[in-house]
Structure 1
Amino acid sequence: MLTLQNVQKKHLTAFGLRQLTLLSVCLFLMSQPAAADEVLLKDGTLLDGTAVKVPGLTASVVNRNVKGNVRIDQFWMIDDDVRRYFVNRLLVEDVLESDDLARQITFDLKHQRTSRKAGPSTVGGFSQIEPFDQFGRRTVFLTVNQERTPIIQGITELRPNSFKVDSLTHQWEYYLDTYTLQPEILLSLIEQASNRSDPNERKAAVVFFVQAKMLKQAEAELDRISEEFPELKDWAEDYRSQIYEARARESFHEIDSRRKAGQHQLAITFAKATPVDKVSGTLYRTSREILAEYEEALQKRDEVVLMLDMLQAKIDEKQADKLRSLRAKLLAELTIDTIDRLNPFLRSKVDDSLSPDQKLALAYSGWVLGEANAILDLNEAILLWKARFLTLEFLRNAEDPLHDDELIEQLTGLEFIGMERIVQMIPLLPPPLMGPFLPPGQIDQRVVPVSADEAPTSYSIMLPPGYSPHREYPLLVVLRASGRTENETLNWWGGNQQKQGWSQRRGYIVIAPKYCDEIATSYGGNTTAHEVVTKSIQDVRKRYRIDSDRVYLAGHGMGGDACLDIGMSRPDWFAGVIPITGVCGRICNYYWENGPDLSWYLVNGDRDRTTLDTNANVLNTMMKHRQNVILCVYKSRGYESYYEEQEKIFAWMQLQQRPPLSEVKEFEAGTMRRSESSFNWIDAKGLRDDLFPADIYSQRKAKPIFGKATPGNVVYAQVPGSGVTVWLAPELVDFDERIQIRFNMKRGRNEFIQPSIKTMLTRLRETGDRKRLYWAKVEL
C-alpha cells in the first residue's frame, strides 16, 4: 500500500505531490487497520483504533491543505473498523501504541452469495431491519429510487470489538460493534465457527468473550467447559478468578459514575452486590471504603441532628425560637451532597473554646454561604437566612415591579448583607420555581412563552434517578429528527421507566424543546427555533438545579442541522454541541469562528447523502484553527441514529465545560441576523435594517460584535448598531477603580461604577444562569 509517510519522503513536483497525496488518502481510507492505538486528547478524551496522520478529512479537501511542495499532516485519523475519528493533531496529548488487536481472537463464517449487484452509493436510512438469525443472516430494506429494496446480509467475521457484515446480494460490507449483537446469537455463531470438541477452541471462546467485555457470557462458557472437560477444571477456576476481578472493576466503574451523578442509593446497592470475597485485596478494600464513606455520611447526618438539638437547648429562648424554622428547613435540605457545608459545625464539637451560639452560627451560616464562608456570629447568621428568603422571593417575582423595589429595599437594609454575601449564597440556593419531581424515565411537558408576537411553545423533560434540588446537574438539550416526536427523542437519549438510558445512568436532565412544527421535514434556518431553545433553557434553569457551564445541545437529522446553526449562533450558551447526521447550512460558512471555545462532536456515515463532503469544508477550517472538534464517521453507513456512539458521547460530555467568564474577557462574534445581537457580556442595540437584508447570503461576511476588557479597566465594545449594553462583573473589571468604556472606538464613560444587587438579581431572574453573575450594566 502506498502510505502517506512514503509519499512525504519522495521528491515530487507540486502537481505530483497533490495527486499522490490524494491517491494515498483514498488507498488508506479503503484499507483495514492492522494494529491498535490509544489516542489521548488534551481534554482527556480517549479514542481507540489504528492512528495515522492525514492531511485532510476527505479526499475532496486534501488539495486545499496541500500547498505546493509543502505538506502538513494536520489531523490524526483513528480507525477502529466500525468508524473513523478525525481530530486536529495539536489537540492530541499522546498516542500510545498497543498490540491488543494482534492478540485478539477472531472467528470466520461463510455464507452462500446469491448475487453481486452494485451496493448503495448512499444510504438514506433503513425502512426496516430484521434481527440476525442464529446463522448470522438478516434482511434489511432500503428505499432506492422510491422502491423498497431488500438486501440480505451475513456475518462473515467476528472480532471482540467488531463484526463484519457482508451483503450476500449486493456489493456492500461494513463493521458493527460486537456488543450490539444479541449474546445468544453471538454464541450460536461461535459454535458454528469453531470445533466445540477441541479444548483449545473452547478456551478461545472464553478469551473472546473476555476481550469483548461480555463477562457474563465468559463465565457461562467456563461453566460448560468445567462440565464437559473435567481435565480443564483447574484452568477454568483460575480463569474464573480473573473474570470476577474484571466484573468487579466494571462494577466499581459504574459505582463511581453513579456517585458522580448523585445516585447514591444505586451506588450503595451496587457496592453491596459486588462479589468482594472473590476479588483481589485492592478491590475488596475499595468496596469497603466506598461503603464506609456512605456510612460516615449517614452518621454525620445523625450527628448534625443531635448537635442542633443539644445546642439549641442551651441558648437564649428567643434565639432558639428564631432557629426552629431554620432547623426544619436545613434538615429538609440535608443530603449526602450537602453535608459538607456543615463541616465547620461538625468540627466544632470538640472545640470547647466556642460557645453554643458560635457553634450554631457555624451551622446556619455554613448552610447559606458554604463551609469556606461560615461565621461565628449567630445574629449575623440569622440575618443571612432572611437575606436568602428575600433573594428567593425576588427571583420568583416576575410580574410586580413595585414588589421588586420593596424586596430590594429590605435586602439592602439588612446589616452585614452586601453584594459579596449575596454572590456567595446564590450557588447554594434551591431553584426559585420548583419543578415537579418525576420518577426516573417519566416524561413531563411544560409550556413556555416565547415572545409577545409568538405563540407559546413547550419542551418535554426527563429527570435522572435520585434527582435532588440541592445539587447541580448537567443539562442536555435534544432536538428531534423529522418523523420523530419530542418524547421519542427523550427516550432515545434517556430510555424509559423500564430500562435506563445513558442520560439517566450518567445523571443528566434532558429536555426536548418543540423547536419546529409537527409536520416539519427540514430545519431551513428558522430563527424562531433559536428563541425556543434559549427560552426553554432559561425556564428549566429556574425550576431545576442546572450547572450552566455544562449545557449541551444535540440533535439528529434536521435537529442536527439546527444544532450546527444554533451552536454557532449562540456559542456562549453551551459547553458542547453534538450534531448527529446534521448538515452544515450556508450560515456555517460565516459563523464557524463565533465559538472558538465551544466543543463539537459530530457523527455521520460516509454514505449519508453528501453530508460528509458538505460538512468537510467548514469542519476542515474549524479544525485547522485548533477548535475542539471530533468528527466521527461510520464506515459504509448512511442516515442512521448511531445509538452505538452514545456511551462515547456521554464520556466526552463529562470532560467539556463552558469557559468561566474570566476567560472570555475578549471575544469577537459575527452576526447576520437581527435576532443575534447578544454575545457573552455585550448586547447590541439599534442594529440598522440595511445591515440585515432578507437574503442574508447576499452579504459577503458576518457583521462583527466585539468586546474586550483590559487589565487597566478599559472596556471596548464594538457593534454594528447605534447603542450597546455592557454587562460587568469582577472577572472583567475592578469596581474599586475607575472604569473607562469605549463604544465603537469612541471614548465613552470614565467613572466609578457601583455594583447593584437589583441589577444582578434581575439578570439572574431572566436567565437562570448562576455561573455568570453580572454586578452592573452600562447603557451607551
Structure 2
Amino acid sequence: MINKQTPPTNTTDRSATRIAKFLLAIGIIGLFVTVTGVAEESLRLKNGLMIQGNVFELPSMKEGFAAAGGGIKSQPIVMVDDGLRRVYLYRRGMVLGEPQQIRGIEETIEFDFDAPLNGKPISVLDSLLGVSPFNEFARRVVKIRGLKGETLSILQGITELNTRYAKVEALKDRPSYIWDQRVATSSIDSDTLQAIFARRLRLPNLDSGDQIDLHYEHARFFGEAKRFNDARKVLQQVQKDFPNEPDIEKRLIAVTEAEASEIIREAQQRAEVGQESFARKIYSGFRPDNVGRITRLEVQDAIAKLDKTQASIDDVMAKLRDKSKQLNAKQIAAINPLLDEMQTGLSAFTLPRLSAFLLADKTGLPVDNHVAMGISGWLLGSGQGVQNLSVAISMITVRNLVAEYLASDDPGRRKAILSELANLEGAEPDYVARMLPLLVPSRKLPNEAEHETIKGMFTVGRDLPSATVDVSPRYIVQLPPDYDPLREYPCIVALHPPQGTPEQQLDWWAGPWNQQLNFRGGHATRHGYIVVAPAWTEPGQGVYNYTPREHQRVLVALRDAMRRTSINADRIFIVGHGDGATAAWDIAVSHPDLWAGLIAISSDPGKTITHYYPNAQQVPIYIVQGFLDRIRSKNNHAFSGILEDYLNVRADAMVVMYRGWGFAFFFDEIHHLFDWMNAASHRRKDIPQKIDHVTMRHGDEFFWWLELDGLKDGTAVDPILWNQAKRIRGKKVEATIGADNQIRISQGPSERFIVWMRPDMGIDLNQRVTIRYGSRRTDHDYDRNLETMLEDVRQRADRKRPFWTKKVVP
C-alpha cells in the first residue's frame, strides 16, 4: 500500500534504487562483500513509464511542498521521493495499480561531518552565483544571493554518497546555515570521486584487509554507476598493490563484460534511430579476445541483422527491376526514374513500404499487377499497394505534382497544378493523403546556412532590429547523424531564456560539438531527434511577455523547419528553460493540437497559463523545478494552485522537484526527459470529438478542427496591460462531433467559425455533413477537390494530418 504519512523535510533518508545491472551481468556478486539494499517501491504509470523511490499520498500540492500533516481525508496526489528529487502525480489520472517493492541502492557511503544543529535556514534560492569543485575532503564552497541581495559564501560537505545522489549539507561555520541539498552523482566528475575515495584509503589504522574492502566498495560503486573505466582502474590498483588477491582477473573480466553490454545497447539504439553506420563503427571496434563468448555472439547477431536488412533491400530491388523489364517500353520509361529513386532511398525505415510487393511475390500475380504493387507501395506506404499499373504510373505524376505544389511560391503555377491533378486517375484524395507523409521535405535548407565546421547545423533567417515587424523564420536547427529525408524524426522545439541563445539550447539537448570526434554526443543525437531552436526574443528582452508576436516567431520557425526537414508531426515536443520554459508552457496550451508534449524547466507560470489549463488535457506535461526556487517560494499557494489545475484525473502530467535547489537548468534530469519523450504514449493525441477550451488572446483562435475567424470585442486581454485589465476571464470554446454526421458548435467568442474536416475525426465525408451553431444549420457536401488539402499542408506544413475540406459557419 502507498504510505499515507507525509514525509519529513529534514531527515537522513537513505533512499535506494535497483541493484547494479553490472553486478547482475557479471554473475559473481559473491566475490565482492555482501550487499544489503534498502527497499524502495516501483510505480507503473499509465503512460508506460516506471518511477521508483519512497511513495507517499498527499492531499494537495501545497501540502506536499510544505510537507505538513493534516486531517484531510482525500489524498489524490502521489509523491515519489528517490532521495534526489520528488515526483508529483495525480493518482487516478496517472498510476496503474499499487506500488511494488523492489531492491534499492546497495550501499551508501557516509562521511563524518559536523552539520550545524541550528542556524539560518536556506528557504528561498535563486540560481547559484558560484560553485567550487569538491576537494578530496568532499567539501566545497557555494555562493548564493541572500534575501537582502548580499552574496553569501556557504561551506558544504558531502554527508552521504550513493550511485544516485550525494547528500550535500551546509557545515558548521560562522554564521551557520541549515541547507540540505541533493546533487546527482552523475554530475560529480571521476577525478573528484577518485580523490575522495583515495582520501578514505589514507585513513589511519587501516590494515591491508580494510584497504582491500574499501577498494572493492569503490569498485562496486563505480560499477553500479556504470563508470566502468573507473571500476577497472580501482581493480587494477588492487592487482598492483595486492598481487596475491584471488579472483582479481575474474573481476576485471566482469567489468569488461558489463561495459561491453552497455556499448552493445548503445549500438542497438543508434541502429534503431537510423544511425546504422554509427552502429557498425561501434561493432567493428569490439576486439573478440577482450570479451566473452556470449558477448561475441551478441555482436555477431547485431551485425548479421544489419547485413540482412541490406540484403533484403538488394533482393527486393533486384526482383522489382527484373519484373519491370517484362513491361512494354512506354511503361519501363515511365517507372525507371522511380526505380532509381527507390534504389537510393530504400533503408530499414522505408523497406516496409514494399511489404505488399513482397507478399504478392508468393501469389502468382501477373507481372504488371506485381510491379504496380511495388510502385504504389513506395508512393502510398506499407500495405497500401494497388494492382492497376496505369493507376500506379499515374500516381508517380500525381506525387511529383503534389511535391511541386507544396514547394511553389507562384499562385498561378499552383492553380495550374490543381487543374492538371483534376485530370489524373491517381489523384484521389485518399491516395494523396497517404502520399503526403512519405514525401521528402518540400524545401531544402540553404547551403549557405550550414555551419562551417558543425555538420548538420543550419542557421535560418537573420537578426533584425527590435523595432522591425517581421514574420520570416529565424532559428537554428541541428540534424541527427546519418540524417535521411525519407525517414521521420522526432523533434524538440527548444526555447532559450531571454538571457540565453538558441545555440545554447542546441548544446544542452544535442550536446556541444566535439571537434576531435567531429560530432555532437548529447542525448538528442543519441536518440535521433531534430532540435529546432527558434530565435523568439527581441534584442534586450528580459522576460517572456505572453504576446502573440512571440508565439508567431516560434510557430513560424517550426513550420519552416517542417518544410525543410523530415520532422514527424506526431512527435514534436516544445521545451524550454527559465522564461523560455514559461513561453513553451504558454504556447503549448494555446495551440494544443501541435504537440506530443511539453517540458518546462524552471518556469514562472502566470497570466494566460493560469486560465488555459482546460486546453491541456491532450498535451502531456513534464514540469521540473527546484524545491527552493524563488518562483515557488514567493507564493507557494498560487504556484501550487496552478500545478493542481494541471494535475488532474484527465491529464498526463508530472511535476519533478529537486531537493535543496533553486533556479537551475537541471541537466541531471535529461535521461528521465528522454525516457518520457520516447514513451510510446507520448505522441500527438488523436483529434478529439469534443473541444472544450478557452481563449483570451489574439492568435489563440485555432483548436484541433475549429477555427475562430477573429475574436469578439472584449475577449482578448492585452498581455502587456494585464495588470490594468478590469476583468480577466477566459472565454469558452465548445464544439462536438456527434452522431449522424453532425457537428455542433456550442459556444465561442467569434461571429464566424471555420470547421476543418478529415475522415478520421468521426465523420463520413462521403455523406452530407451537418453543422449546427445555435439555431442555424449549415450543410456541407465534400466535392473531393484537392485544393483545401494541399493549401492546408502548404501553409501549416503538417503532412501527417491534413484537412481535406472546410466550411465557414455561418
1:701 paired residue number: 729
CA distance in 1 between counterparts of 2:263 and 2:139 reads 34
Structure 1 residue 186: Cα displacement? 0.9
1:64/1:413 CA distance change after superposition, 3 Å: farther
- Given that 1:525 and 1:562 are in contact with CA atoms closer than 8 Å, whether structure 2 keeps it comes out as yes
Q: Deviations over 1:334-355 (max 9, x none)?
A: 223212223444556676x345
Greater RCO (Cα-Cα under 8 Å, separation 6 or more): 2
Q: What is the SS of the residue equivalent to 2:679?
A: coil
CA distance in 2 between counterparts of 1:154 and 1:751 reads 71
- Alignment partner for residue 274 of structure 2, among 232, 254, 262? 262
1:435 paired residue number: 445
1:43 is the counterpart of 2:47 = yes
CA distance in 2 between counterparts of 1:92 and 1:304 reads 46
Q: What is the SS of the residue equivalent to 1:691?
A: coil
CA distance in 2 between counterparts of 1:420 and 1:442 reads 34
2:694 paired residue number: 670
2:21 paired residue number: none
1:549 paired residue number: 570
- Given that 1:551 and 1:575 are in contact with CA atoms closer than 8 Å, whether structure 2 keeps it comes out as yes
Q: What is the SS of the residue equivalent to 2:570?
A: strand
1:643 paired residue number: 667
Structure 1 residue 229: Cα displacement? 3.0
Structure 1 residue 598: Cα displacement? 0.8
- Given that 2:60 and 2:75 are in contact with CA atoms closer than 8 Å, whether structure 1 keeps it comes out as yes
Q: What is the SS of the residue equivalent to 1:636?
A: coil
1:126 paired residue number: 128
1:228/1:620 CA distance change after superposition, 3 Å: same
Q: Which residue type is aligned with residue 529 of structure 2?
A: Y
CA distance in 2 between counterparts of 1:626 and 1:153 reads 43
- Given that 1:448 and 1:535 are in contact with CA atoms closer than 8 Å, whether structure 2 keeps it comes out as no
Q: How does 1:303-318 map to 2 (within 5 A)?
A: 303-318=315-330
2:478 paired residue number: 462
Q: How does 1:561-600 map to 2 (within 5 A)?
A: 561-600=582-621
Q: What is the SS of the residue equivalent to 1:267?
A: helix
1:593/1:481 CA distance change after superposition, 3 Å: same
Q: What is the SS of the residue equivalent to 1:520?
A: coil
1:152/1:678 CA distance change after superposition, 3 Å: same
1:719 paired residue number: 748
1:766/1:244 CA distance change after superposition, 3 Å: same
CA distance in 1 between counterparts of 2:651 and 2:471 reads 37
1:73 paired residue number: 75
Unaligned runs of 5+ in 1: 9-23
1:54 is the counterpart of 2:58 = yes
- Given that 2:6 and 2:67 are in contact with CA atoms closer than 8 Å, whether structure 1 keeps it comes out as no
Q: Deviations over 1:304-363 (max 9, x none)?
A: 443354444443233222233222222232223212223444556676x34544443232
CA distance in 2 between counterparts of 1:363 and 1:99 reads 51
1:339 is the counterpart of 2:351 = yes
1:151 paired residue number: 154
Q: Which residue type is aligned with residue 572 of structure 2?
A: V
CA distance in 2 between counterparts of 1:269 and 1:698 reads 64
1:193 paired residue number: 200
CA distance in 2 between counterparts of 1:363 and 1:661 reads 32
2:24 paired residue number: none
Q: What is the SS of the residue equivalent to 1:73?
A: coil
1:183 is the counterpart of 2:190 = yes
TM-score, scaled relative to structure 1: 0.89
CA distance in 2 between counterparts of 1:62 and 1:497 reads 42
- Alignment partner for residue 497 of structure 1, among 506, 513, 518? 513
CA distance in 2 between counterparts of 1:626 and 1:757 reads 37
Q: Which residue type is aligned with residue 215 of structure 1?
A: F
1:444 is the counterpart of 2:446 = no
- Given that 1:678 and 1:684 are in contact with CA atoms closer than 8 Å, whether structure 2 keeps it comes out as yes
2:436 paired residue number: 426
Structure 1 residue 365: Cα displacement? 1.8
1:160 paired residue number: 163
CA distance in 2 between counterparts of 1:78 and 1:656 reads 22
Q: How does 1:285-304 map to 2 (within 5 A)?
A: 285-304=297-316
Structure 1 residue 617: Cα displacement? 0.6
Q: Which moved more, 1:140-149 or 1:57-66?
A: 57-66
1:660/1:98 CA distance change after superposition, 3 Å: closer
1:482 paired residue number: 498
Q: Which residue type is aligned with residue 323 of structure 1?
A: I
1:21 paired residue number: none
1:658/1:633 CA distance change after superposition, 3 Å: closer
Q: Which residue type is aligned with residue 157 of structure 2?
A: G
Q: Deviations over 1:4-55 (max 9, x none)?
A: 96xx7xxxxxxxxxxxxxxx64735756255422222111122222112222
Q: Which residue type is aligned with residue 527 of structure 1?
A: P
CA distance in 1 between counterparts of 2:327 and 2:784 reads 38
- Given that 2:111 and 2:158 are in contact with CA atoms closer than 8 Å, whether structure 1 keeps it comes out as yes
CA distance in 2 between counterparts of 1:314 and 1:389 reads 25
Q: Which moved more, 1:223-232 or 1:616-625?
A: 223-232
CA distance in 1 between counterparts of 2:376 and 2:261 reads 41
1:61/1:670 CA distance change after superposition, 3 Å: farther
CA distance in 2 between counterparts of 1:574 and 1:401 reads 30
Unaligned runs of 5+ in 2: 16-38, 515-519
1:731 paired residue number: 760
CA distance in 2 between counterparts of 1:609 and 1:685 reads 40
Structure 1 residue 706: Cα displacement? 1.5
1:757 paired residue number: 786
Structure 1 residue 752: Cα displacement? 3.1
1:779 is the counterpart of 2:789 = no
- Given that 2:321 and 2:339 are in contact with CA atoms closer than 8 Å, whether structure 1 keeps it comes out as no
RMSD: 3.1
Q: Deviations over 1:533-590 (max 9, x none)?
A: 1111111111111111111111111111212221221111111111111011032221
- Given that 1:55 and 1:62 are in contact with CA atoms closer than 8 Å, whether structure 2 keeps it comes out as no
2:111 paired residue number: 109
Q: How many residues are aligned here?
A: 754
Identity %: 25
